[in-house]
Amino acid sequence: RLRLHDGKLIKDRRYHLRTYPNCFVAKELTDWLIDHKEAPDRETGIRLMQKLMDHYIIHHVCDEHSDYKDAKLLYRFRKDDGTFPLNKDVKVFVRGQSLYEKLVGAEGSILKVREENSVKYQRTFLGCEMVDWLVQEGEAESRKEAVELGQALLEHGIIQHVSNRHHFFDGDLLYQFWINFRRRRRLTELLNENSSRTLSESPDSPFCLRKLNPDPGNTSFLSVQPNKEIKIVSAVRRSSITSLAGNSNPYFSVTPTLVFPPVAECNPKSVLKRPVTNEELLSPGAPYVKKTLTIVGDAVGWGFVVRGGRPCHIQAVDPGGPAAAAGMKVCQFVFSVNGMYVLHLDYQTISSLIMTGPRTLVMEVMEAVE
C-alpha cells in the first residue's frame, strides 16, 4: 500500500462526475505487480489481489464487485478510507509491529542477539527488561499492565520464549520477537500461507478416526504411524468403538475398501458447551487445573481429535487408544505440545506439530474443575 502511494498509483480519481479519494485502477495495479516482479503473470496478480479482498484489505470503491477484476475498475485499501476491521487480533498485531519498530530504532535497544544453551537467538530480550521498557516509554501504566501486554503478544505469536517453554513473565527468562517485521515480504507468500496446514485435513491424518467403510459393522480405521506410513488396522483392540457404533461384534472379517467420508463427518459440532477464551483459562483463580499427559503412539496413531483454536480443545478420544490410557478427556484445552506453548495456535497448526513430532507425545492440558 505504501509503495503504491509512493508510486502515485493510489490517488484521487474522478469517475462519472464524482471524485473517489485514494483509489487505484485494477488494471494498472496488475501491470505494476508484474513490472515490479510481485507476480509472474496476470493470473497470479489477480489471485493475489483477490486474497487481499477476501481478507478485507481492499474493496471496490462502491462495493459493487466482490471479486477483483483485471479491468478499469476503481478499488481502494480499507486502511485509506477507515473501513478496515480492527478486531482484537489485528489490534494486537499492529501494536506488536509498532513496539518492534520503536525498539529497533531506540538507542541502546534491549533487542539483541543472545545465546542460551549454545544456541544464538535473534531479536531477544529479557522479560523484566521488556516490562521496564514498556513502563518507561509510557506503553503501559504499570508492571501488571506491561505483563498483560507481553502475554497478549505471546498468545498471538508475535513474541515467544526462545525454547517455547514459558508464558510471558516479569523475570529473567529470555524471549524473542518471533516475527521480523522488517523482513521484506513478497505478495506471492500469501498464496502459500495455508500450505503447512493442509496436512491435518488430508485423509491420512491421525487426528480423525476415519472409518474405511461407512457400514456400521466395519470397525477399521485408517490412521498414520509416527513414520507417516499408512496402515489398515482392524479394530480388535478397539472393540469399544464398535459398541459405540451399535454393533457388539468386535471383530472384522471382510476386507474393507478405502472409502473416505467427507471431512464434515470428522469435524462435528464442538463438544464445548460454550466458547472459552485464553484470558479466562489463564486468569488468576480460574476453575481449571493443568495436567501433563505422556502419550505413546501406537500403530493406529494417538487416538484423539483436536479442534478449535485459541485455545484448541479435545473434541474426541478413542476409548481404547493411547490418549485415553494417558488420561485424556474431551473438553480439555491444549496448553502445550512437547514443551511448546500452543494456546495461541489453531488446531491445524497443532495437528501438524504433533504429526511431525516424536512418537512419544507430551501434552499439557487444562481441565475444568468439577
CA 73 to chain centre: 34
Q: According to the CATH classification, is domain 88-177 in 1.10.10.10?
A: yes
Q: How confident is the model at residue 193 (pLDDT cuts 50, 70, 90)?
A: low
Domain spans in the chain, listed from the N-terminal domain onward:
1-77, 88-177, 278-368
What's the predicted TM-score (pTM) here? 0.49
CATH of 1-77, one of 1.10.10.10, 3.40.50.300, 3.30.300.30, 3.40.50.150: 1.10.10.10
Q: What are the counts of helices (DSSP H) followed by strands (DSSP E) for the chain?
A: 12, 17
Q: Which CATH superfamily is domain 278-368 in?
A: PDZ domain (2.30.42.10)
pLDDT for 297 equals: 83
Is 231 within 8 Å of 297 (Cβ atoms)?
Answer: no
The answer to whether domain 1-77 and domain 88-177 are alike in fold is yes
Q: How confident is the model at residue 150 (pLDDT cuts 50, 70, 90)?
A: very high
Hey, what's the cell of 300? 493406529
Query: Residues with Cβ < 8 Å from 195, sequence gap 6 or more?
Result: none
Question: Which of 69-78, 82-91, 215-224, 268-277 has the highest average model confidence (pLDDT)?
Answer: 69-78
pLDDT in tens, 343-363: 998 888 898 888 877 888 999
Mean pLDDT, residues 226-243: 32
Mean pLDDT, residues 266-294: 85
Q: Is the dihedral of CA 360, 361, 364, 368 positive or negative?
A: negative
pLDDT in tens, 25-84: 999 999 999 999 999 999 999 999 999 998 889 999 999 888 999 999 999 999 888 888
